[in-house]
Structure 1
Amino acid sequence: MVLVRELAVLSIVVPAVAALLLWAWPEPARPHVPVPQLVSVRGEDRVMFYADLVPLQEGLKPLPLLVTGRASNGAKGALLQEWPGFHAEAQFIGTAVSVRFEDNVNRWRVLIDNGRSGMIELSRPGVNDLRIRGLTAGAHHIRVEKISESSMPTSFGGILIDGDSEALPAPRARPRLIEFIGDSDTVGFANTALRRDCTEDEVFSATDTSRSFGPKVAEALDADFRMVARSGIGLVRNYEGVTPQSTMTTRYPLALPSDPAAGRLADRPADIVVTALGSNDFGSSFTESEPWADHEALSRDFAAALIAFLRDRVRENPGAIQVLLAFGEYGKPLLVPYQQAEAALKADGQQAVLITLPKLDRSACFWHPSAGDHDLIASWLTTAISPLVQ
């Protein structure tokens, strides 16, 4: 009888304690909003430099650039860009440099001497020059990288100097280029967030493409990276079946995904191509207007489209290693097409490798991969690719 009473008490106390702990446990912090328009951080040399946004300056001289990422010609020598991960680098001798923007959409990071001499982060800089002064006299390297996802094309007006500085040749490209093809998981959508429920402003604040798995893999392999990725996009169907005419199959060739008429500037063939599509194809239910009755039918079409898509990438990047990155959480409807695609490429005589990811934590906004997930994916990719490039 005593035992029964004790069990009865425990049956009440344990759930109550659990509920109390759940109530008292602090919720993850929300992403900080709004993002400051300009933040400067001193580098390791601790030299005080000055950075401010000013109206477009006259008489500046453009530096030769190493540009990585899809782009189209804009006005007055500017570059129009929209795909994520766009970045440009230059070198100069002097104490001052400027970066020109026409952009009310994106976040940017500017690194001087790989951050040793300073770092600046910008949010929606507008039609302005970022003017940087007070650097140590001598030679400097500057890198300007977009870390947010564009919803439309914006203009990058280059890196410029005045008459007191001297231009140096553009930096030499790294020995390898890796192209990452994917969706929001590749972009790094809200990857720095610590919670799943987010506002639009919080997503903007928490997205940092430079901390997604692609740039991490490139850094580990002493390579550069190019991204052809977009949130919501799929290979044969987009998330929830929206804009069926704008899947990766039709958007991939474009310089600007929202402007099919824009001319695409020539870019370097990739040495490694990582394709990570399918989350949006299989991650939502069908609408009445879509042609698939079930995931089995979609899987068959996805397989055929994936093989054709990858063979196009082989033709554009001769000799490149084709890395197929499959998100295992979507099961056989996605995994079987990736297995068939790997087999087809190998039968064609191509070097191909399939990596199947385990179930991810997905604790960032709207169930997107967290920073820890991106670290995990980068580790798996680096481990798989490293033996192939030695």
Structure 2
Amino acid sequence: MRRLLRRLAFLSLALTACAAAGLWFWSEPARPEVPVPPIHVTLDEGQSWFAAELVQPQDGLTQLPLLTSGRASAGKKDMLIQEWPGFHAEARFRGSSVTVRFQDGLNRWRILLNDGKAGRIDVARPGMSDLHISGLAPAEYRIRVEKISESSMPASFGGILIGPTVQPLPAPRALPRMIEFIGDSDTVGFANTASTRDCTEEEVFSATDTSRSFGPQVASRLGADYRMIARSGIGLLRNYDGAAPLATMTSRYALALPSEPAAMRLPERAADVVVTGIGSNDFAAAFAKDEIWQDDDSLSRDFGTALLSFLRDRVRENPGAVQVLLAFGEYGDRLVRPYRAAEAALRADGVRVVLVTLPKLKRDACFWHPSQEDHRLIADWLATAISSAGT
């Protein structure tokens, strides 16, 4: 009996130790870094050191010729005012220093030198300042500046500038194809780098990286440029929870700045592929008593009519473009059925159209948004669909 009791005691201790070890090795997912540092320089192994600092706007600098993508409106003193996500600009120069001008206390930006091979700088809420990069090895550089956060209101980008000792070079050539992505927070990449669903507002800001959302991933794989017309909470007919009923995608799509309807939109190239993935917010929350819809069936019918009208407008604006319809299948037949009907109607119109119906996503990021794994999955499906359409 004593021997049995000793064995049981030993087994109990072993199980306790195993449990303790499990608790020791099992940790909560890493949370996004907060507060977000105003400037962060990343140098990979073998890259040359350089300096980057935010300074007061400097006089005597010359604007480099730019290649820009993304909706924008012209501001004062060569400023480009933008609000939709994914805005990016590129330039080329030969020398050892360059400056990026901001007037933006809202957003996060990423600056890539030679596609990141010569260095990367992340900037958060730079305000009215110049990012001065110096100490580069004298050489020819391609610099890319991309907004990676979601704007809550318009902000200004002041261009890429050089001093008198730096040689300007022509702007990079535009890529042969443009893909436009239309959607909501899932398209924006809302908190897509987070690995937890419970987040603070600052953690969402830290974890959102539009450049790593499915749209830019698809464009990169296919050697194309991209433009993003997307906004968190927006729907085609009904925003999330019925909010701001006059500010749906139907009324906001054509605007240069979704918060300023009077702003003049700068010219933009037609898209070769249009990916429309809108509607999740239309069906995501219960109806308020004062809404015109009180059941999913009536909303689904009206959504289908509006979706086809919206898509036909995109066809007229982008003649010959492939129309890719992106339906989030987890919302069920009420969302998927209108997309199927729109696909059939466009095909009858003679439009090149592809329907992609996504499977259920893990949605492990903040507030049940798609994670990095989800975005890779969506990019896989879309890249395959676009390639199969022969673009």
User: Contact conserved, 1:221 with 1:382, CA < 8 A, in 2?
Assistant: yes
Q: Report the Cα offset of residue 134 of structure 1.
A: 1.2
User: Contact conserved, 2:354 with 2:389, CA < 8 A, in 1?
Assistant: no
Q: Which residue in 1 is equivalent to 2:274?
A: 273
Name the amino acid aligned to 2:29. Answer: P
SS in 2 for 1:194: coil
Displaced runs of 4+ in structure 1, greater than 6 A? 19-24
Q: Report the Cα offset of residue 310 of structure 1.
A: 0.2
Q: Which residue in 1 is equivalent to 2:222?
A: 221
Which digits, 9 at most, give the CA deviation of each residue in 1:331-351, with x for residues without a partner? 110000000100111111000
Q: Report the Cα offset of residue 27 of structure 1.
A: 2.1
Q: Which residue in 1 is equivalent to 2:51?
A: 50
Distance of aligned partners of 1:289 and 1:89 in 2 relative to their CA distance in 1, 3 Å threshold:
same
SS in 2 for 1:114: coil
Which digits, 9 at most, give the CA deviation of each residue in 1:63-110, with x for residues without a partner? 000000000011101100000000000001111100000010000000
Name the amino acid aligned to 2:100. Answer: V
User: Contact conserved, 1:49 with 1:132, CA < 8 A, in 2?
Assistant: yes
Q: Which residue in 1 is equivalent to 2:69?
A: 68
User: Contact conserved, 1:45 with 1:116, CA < 8 A, in 2?
Assistant: no
Distance 2:70 2:184 in 1: 16
Indicate whether 1:306 and 2:282 are aligned: no
Matches within 5 A, 1:104-115: 104-115=105-116
Q: Which residue in 2 is equivalent to 1:10?
A: none
Distance 1:310 1:326 in 2: 14
Distance of aligned partners of 1:43 and 1:64 in 2 relative to their CA distance in 1, 3 Å threshold:
farther
Q: Report the Cα offset of residue 387 of structure 1.
A: 2.3
Q: Report the Cα offset of residue 388 of structure 1.
A: 2.0
Name structure 2 gaps, 5 residues minimum. Answer: 1-15
SS in 1 for 2:227: strand
User: Contact conserved, 1:69 with 1:87, CA < 8 A, in 2?
Assistant: yes
Q: Which residue in 1 is equivalent to 2:380?
A: 379
SS in 1 for 2:128: strand
Which digits, 9 at most, give the CA deviation of each residue in 1:275-298, with x for residues without a partner? 000110011111111111200000
Matches within 5 A, 1:246-285: 246-285=247-286
User: Contact conserved, 1:360 with 1:369, CA < 8 A, in 2?
Assistant: yes
Distance 1:22 1:57 in 2: 56
Cα RMSD for the two superposed structures: 1.7
Distance of aligned partners of 1:45 and 1:171 in 2 relative to their CA distance in 1, 3 Å threshold:
farther
User: Contact conserved, 1:63 with 1:161, CA < 8 A, in 2?
Assistant: yes
Q: Which residue in 1 is equivalent to 2:203?
A: 202
SS in 2 for 1:190: coil
Name the amino acid aligned to 2:205. Answer: F
Distance of aligned partners of 1:366 and 1:22 in 2 relative to their CA distance in 1, 3 Å threshold:
farther
Distance of aligned partners of 1:44 and 1:169 in 2 relative to their CA distance in 1, 3 Å threshold:
farther
Aligned length: 375
Q: Report the Cα offset of residue 328 of structure 1.
A: 0.3
User: Contact conserved, 1:182 with 1:277, CA < 8 A, in 2?
Assistant: yes
Name the amino acid aligned to 1:127. Answer: M
Distance 1:21 1:346 in 2: 59
Q: Which residue in 1 is equivalent to 2:324?
A: 323
User: Contact conserved, 2:99 with 2:160, CA < 8 A, in 1?
Assistant: yes
Q: Which residue in 2 is equivalent to 1:92?
A: 93
Q: Which residue in 2 is equivalent to 1:239?
A: 240
User: Contact conserved, 2:330 with 2:359, CA < 8 A, in 1?
Assistant: yes
SS in 1 for 2:354: strand
Name the amino acid aligned to 1:47. Answer: S
Which digits, 9 at most, give the CA deviation of each residue in 1:151-208, with x for residues without a partner? 0100100000000011111100101000000000000000011111110001000000
Name structure 1 gaps, 5 residues minimum. Answer: 1-15
Percent identical among aligned pairs is 64
User: Contact conserved, 1:214 with 1:378, CA < 8 A, in 2?
Assistant: yes
Q: Report the Cα offset of residue 136 of structure 1.
A: 1.7
Q: Which residue in 1 is equivalent to 2:292?
A: 291
User: Contact conserved, 1:44 with 1:116, CA < 8 A, in 2?
Assistant: no
Which digits, 9 at most, give the CA deviation of each residue in 1:6-28, with x for residues without a partner? xxxxxxxxxx9xx9999774222
Q: Which residue in 2 is equivalent to 1:168?
A: 169
Indicate whether 1:59 and 2:60 are aligned: yes
Q: Which residue in 2 is equivalent to 1:5?
A: none
Which digits, 9 at most, give the CA deviation of each residue in 1:242-277, with x for residues without a partner? 000000000000000000010000000000000000
Which deviates more, 284-293 or 183-192? 284-293
Name the amino acid aligned to 1:177. Answer: M
Name the amino acid aligned to 2:166. Answer: S
Q: Report the Cα offset of residue 139 of structure 1.
A: 1.3
SS in 1 for 2:261: coil
User: Contact conserved, 1:109 with 1:122, CA < 8 A, in 2?
Assistant: yes
User: Contact conserved, 2:90 with 2:142, CA < 8 A, in 1?
Assistant: yes
Name the amino acid aligned to 2:360. Answer: K
Q: Which residue in 2 is equivalent to 1:35?
A: 36
Q: Which residue in 1 is equivalent to 2:4?
A: none
Q: TM-score, normalised by structure 2?
A: 0.93
Q: Report the Cα offset of residue 143 of structure 1.
A: 0.2
Distance 2:163 2:318 in 1: 39
Q: Report the Cα offset of residue 43 of structure 1.
A: 4.7
Q: Which residue in 2 is equivalent to 1:128?
A: 129
Distance of aligned partners of 1:242 and 1:61 in 2 relative to their CA distance in 1, 3 Å threshold:
same
Distance 1:135 1:351 in 2: 47
Name the amino acid aligned to 2:248. Answer: T
Name the amino acid aligned to 2:88. Answer: H
Q: Report the Cα offset of residue 42 of structure 1.
A: 2.1
Q: Which residue in 2 is equivalent to 1:180?
A: 181
Name the amino acid aligned to 1:171. Answer: P
Distance of aligned partners of 1:22 and 1:232 in 2 relative to their CA distance in 1, 3 Å threshold:
farther
